[in-house]
Amino acid sequence: MKEFLLNVESKELRLAELVDYRLNSLVIERKKSRQITGNVYRGRVTNILRNIQSAFINIGESENGFIHISDIVENAQKFQELFDMEFDWDHNQNNSEEKKNEDVDIAKLLKPDQTVLVQVVKEPIGSKGARLTSNISIPGRYLVLLPNNPHRGVSRKIIDKGSRDHLKQTIRSFEMPSDMGLICRTASVDATTDQLIDDAHELLDIWNKIVENFNKPNSSHLLYQESDLLKRALMTALDKKFDRILIDHHPTFLACNKMYNRYKENDQQLKIEFYRDKPPMFKRFNVEKEIDKALMHKIWLPSGGYLFFDKTEAMYTIDVNSGRSNQSINYEDVEDALVHINLEAVSEIARQLRIRNIGGLIICDFIDMRSKKNQRRVLNHLKEAMKNDSAKCTIIGMSEFGIVEMTRQRSKESIIQTVFTNCPYCNGSGMVKNLESTSIELERTIKQLITQYQQVNLDIIIHPILDNHLNNNDKKQLEALSKKLDGTISFTTNDTLHLNHFEIYSSINGQKFEI
């Protein structure tokens, strides 16, 4: 049983994929931070960086986009990786031509204030702007149009040789401009020739409209907007043969039904249903609880082991621990128990990566296993579990210490970045100084003000929790110290202060001291 749950709120859309009634992946989109991957813009070059052969381009979003020379010159290999397909070459592409592309200087292709046509291939994340390309691609239901590339290809996911050959012959026969190409998507294997032709015509119309708007002098930045979350969910459900889409917002339900009637096939069994029950849909199907778990560092496993997720500047780390042993399961030896925990961890790691949308470099620290056979078994299980991930993943072998390095394609912000912001107290470190450290700093400051600056009458404002700590420990000592140095101090509290901060004023003229 595979289904989508679409929760619609005034400021947020949440799409949950359930497999056998269990959360398998999650997409959260806020209206203030809508997804822009696939959008085509009329951009303006703002800065050329010759040292790294790149440029910044203003596309009308909050941050300028970034484009590299490899995203400007033709790069067939990148297209094949991006669309997971194989090109049917219509012309020879030799090494000298590739070398010529490598030698191109970006300053010869782009100039400051130049107007350019670009497409977003990677979402802006944090302070980084969107990644752009000038190699435009317009996706349809069955085909992808390549307006600037003459190549024609078929998705690698279409395995049947007869279907591949048929699709290649079909798209070769299309009457299109010689400088344009087409890619057959996975869904095209079940499409008729007429459906493919209609899809190609629709894509050409979209492209012609983009070009027309680009040439208008007062055209806005955004020329073409990629499908919204509703359409992407419907296309995925149709392509992957989902059983149901359940929607808790009636206007969205009607829009989805209308779209479904346009795209559905004769034998399609997908159900589009409106959720009518009183309990919130995500609570009813236990999705809310799974989202709460995905926001935590620690995830418990059925065997009593647990995963611990943590993030550094460079990578995510996932630590697998044995935790509480489960006495109800009997193993022949300790190694078998550890392998069982690691295998459990693999399935949950793959699921949590999808739910949390973690991207970039990921380090998994599994529990040490002596047997090489068991290490290969866990590694193979991880590779198999990651096959269902829509994001591209690369997994490197396991080290002798049980460490696995992997990368996962970063397409947009993680759930942590979407939901949270850095703590204003700890600035994202997750830690604050203990009360003893703050007390010691306060003692140093009092001593410096009295001895160095001859400020002998001090009013000190501190957080109530620190005040309670000083009352039980150090306040008498601080008062005795100031008296010994011929000074006086008094304490008041302010609960709006940071726990580690304190303010000191002159009792005589009210001047605040900054040290």
* Cβ within 8 Å of residue 49, ≥6 positions away: 55, 56
Quick count: other Cβ atoms within 10 Å of Cβ 33? 16
Q: Which option is the CATH number for 2-32+229-287: 3.90.1690, 2.20.130, 3.60.21, 3.30.420?
A: 3.30.420
94 pLDDT higher than 50: no
Q: Give me the mean pLDDT over the 17-34 stretch.
A: 88
Give me the count of residues in the chain: 515
Residue given tokens 């008296």 in the structure block: 483
For the chain, the average pLDDT equals 87
Q: Give me the mean pLDDT over the 290-311 stretch.
A: 93
User: What is 475-507 written as a DSSP string?
Assistant: HHHHHHHHHHTT-EEEEEE-TTS-TT--EEEET
Position 334 scores a pLDDT of: 83
Q: Give me the mean pLDDT over the 489-507 stretch.
A: 94
CB 121 within 8 A of CB 67: no
User: Cα–Cα distance between 257 and 53 in angstroms, integer?
Assistant: 47
Position 95 scores a pLDDT of: 47
**CA atoms within 13 A of residue 69's CA, in its CB half-sphere:** 17
% of the chain exceeding 70 in pLDDT: 91
89 pLDDT higher than 50: no
List the single range of 85-99, 246-260, 293-307 with lowest mean pLDDT. 85-99
92 pLDDT higher than 50: no
What long-range pairs does 276-280 form, CB within 8 A, spacing at least 24? 280/7, 280/248
CB 42 within 8 A of CB 104: no
If pLDDT is split at 50, 70 and 90, which confidence band does 93 have?
very low
Position 385 scores a pLDDT of: 94
CB 389 within 8 A of CB 408: yes
Q: Give me the mean pLDDT over the 385-406 stretch.
A: 90
Q: Considering the domain 36-224 in this protein, what is its CATH number?
A: 2.40.50.140
Quick count: other Cβ atoms within 10 Å of Cβ 326? 17
If pLDDT is split at 50, 70 and 90, which confidence band does 263 have?
confident
User: Cα–Cα distance between 357 and 353 in angstroms, integer?
Assistant: 5
Q: Give me the mean pLDDT over the 440-458 stretch.
A: 93
Dihedrals phi, psi of 314, to nearest 5 degrees: -95, -25
Pairing verdict, β 222-224 and 40-49: antiparallel
User: Cα–Cα distance between 128 and 386 in angstroms, integer?
Assistant: 27
pTM for this model (two decimals):
0.76
94 vs 316, more confident: 316
150 pLDDT higher than 90: no
- Cβ neighbourhood burial of 463 (10 Å; 0-12, 13-18, 19+): buried
Pairing verdict, β 181-184 and 143-146: antiparallel
Smallest Cα–Cα separation from 138: which of 174, 181, 178, 169?
181
386 pLDDT higher than 90: yes
Position 329 scores a pLDDT of: 53
If pLDDT is split at 50, 70 and 90, which confidence band does 288 have?
very high
List the single range of 13-17, 407-411, 508-512 with lowest mean pLDDT. 407-411
220 vs 452, more confident: 452
What long-range pairs does 264-268 form, CB within 8 A, spacing at least 24? 264/238, 265/190, 265/238, 268/238
One-letter amino acid for residue 191 of the chain = A
CB 82 within 8 A of CB 131: no
pLDDT digits (tens, 9 = 90+) for 162-204: 988 899 889 888 888 888 888 888 888 888 888 899 999 999 9
Q: In Å, what is the CA distance from 288 to each residue of 268, 284, 345, 374, 413?
A: 30, 9, 22, 35, 19
User: Cα–Cα distance between 358 and 183 in angstroms, integer?
Assistant: 29
84 pLDDT higher than 60: no
Smallest Cα–Cα separation from 67: which of 78, 51, 77, 53?
53
Q: Give me the mean pLDDT over the 376-393 stretch.
A: 92
Position 210 scores a pLDDT of: 92
CATH class of the structural domain 435-513: alpha beta
Q: Give me the mean pLDDT over the 403-415 stretch.
A: 88
Position 445 scores a pLDDT of: 95
419 vs 81, more confident: 419
303 pLDDT higher than 50: yes
> Sheet of 457-462: strands edge to edge?
488-493, 457-462, 503-506, 512-513
pLDDT digits (tens, 9 = 90+) for 481-494: 999 999 999 999 99
355 pLDDT higher than 70: yes
Position 422 scores a pLDDT of: 82
Domain chopping of the chain, boundaries: 2-32+229-287, 36-224, 296-419, 435-513
